[in-house]
Amino acid sequence: MRLTAELILKSPDYINPCKDRELNLRGNKISSIENLGATKNQFDTIDFSDNEISKVENFPKLERVKTLLFNNNHIKSFEEDFGSSLPHLRALILSNNRINNLSDLEPLTKLSEIKFISLLENPVSKKPNYRLYLIHLVPHLKIIDFRKVKKIEREESKKLFGQSKLILEKYSTDKNKDKSKTFEPGEGVNNNSSNNNNNNNKISSTPVKKLTEEEKKSIRLQIDNAKTMEEINILEAKLRTGDI
């Protein structure tokens, strides 16, 4: 079913237990988001649960919206800049959807006020280091999957993703990256750097072994399954030197 202006106008709305004005669009077999301008920015919460939506997209500027509920849909991805249309969104509930990859979460960085998110029962929530990567992407999150973000998790996230360029590139997707500047595991560092004669940078002129595609794949798989910083540091060294 299409999300028409008529459907929006005839759908129930009410003051919910949080004392927010809520629009209830549950269970209408809606397949895509459209025509939300018909809400006239009158709602704090919009409930899209139990529909057939596959992508979070097509939001007009809705400055009042604080909570979006997308439980039990078919969501796999987000429009890249959807967050710019929802400047005051604080809670995003996406339980039981089909988001699969950590890189699919990158548009969440545009949600400047988001505090609460649920991705329970999505394949991505089973990925290694899922919570730590989400904390890295959206540092102001306070609750993930109905569990408070702990200080130790923030510290681990910073250690894992804040200081390791190789690991961060493994988990993230930079569509605008200049391929000539991309570090290729197993290849040497560019010797044209202005510091290549510096004694503290001798490793840049050290020849390293060229890893095969199969070897690279094996190391990347090990990175995905790494559980401690020690394991990650060892794998990072292998990627730099090509020593397996």
pLDDT of residue 211: 66
**51 token code pair:** 């529909």
Region label for 4, one of left (φ > 0), alpha (ψ between -120 and 50) or beta (otherwise):
beta
pTM, rounded to two decimals: 0.69
Quote the DSSP letter at residue 228. Answer: S
Distance CA 159, CA 137 (A): 14
Q: What pLDDT sits at residue 180? A: 34
| Phi and psi angles of residue 2, each rounded to the nearest 5 degrees, phi first | -80, 145
**What pLDDT, on a 0 to 100 scale, did the predictor assign at position 162?**
74
Distance CA 157, CA 46 (A): 32
Contacts of 154 (CB under 8 A, 6+ apart): 135, 139
Whole-number Å distance between alpha carbons of 207 and 21: 64
What's the CA gap between 225 and 223, in Å, rounded? 5
Architecture of 5-161 per CATH? Alpha-Beta Horseshoe (3.80)
For residue 240, CA distances in Å to 55, 111, 116, 206 come to 38, 35, 37, 11
Segments making up each domain of the chain, as ranges: 5-161, 183-241
Q: Where are the alpha helices (DSSP H) in 108-228?
A: 130-137, 151-161, 165-171, 213-225
State the pLDDT at residue 187. 41
Please tell me what DSSP assigns to residue 189: P
Chain segment 69-113, per-residue pLDDT in tens: 999 999 999 999 999 999 999 999 999 999 999 999 999 999 999
Please give the C-alpha separations between residue 126 and each of 74, 86, 123, 152, 201, in angstroms, as whole numbers: 17, 28, 6, 20, 39
Q: Per residue in 170-184, pLDDT tens?
A: 555 444 443 334 333
Q: What is the pLDDT along the chain (244 residues), one digit of tens a residue?
A: 899 999 999 999 999 999 999 999 999 999 999 999 999 999 999 999 999 999 999 999 999 999 999 999 999 999 999 999 999 999 999 999 999 999 999 999 999 999 999 999 999 999 999 999 999 999 999 999 999 999 999 999 999 887 544 455 555 544 444 333 433 334 444 444 444 444 444 334 444 456 677 776 676 667 666 655 556 666 666 666 655 5
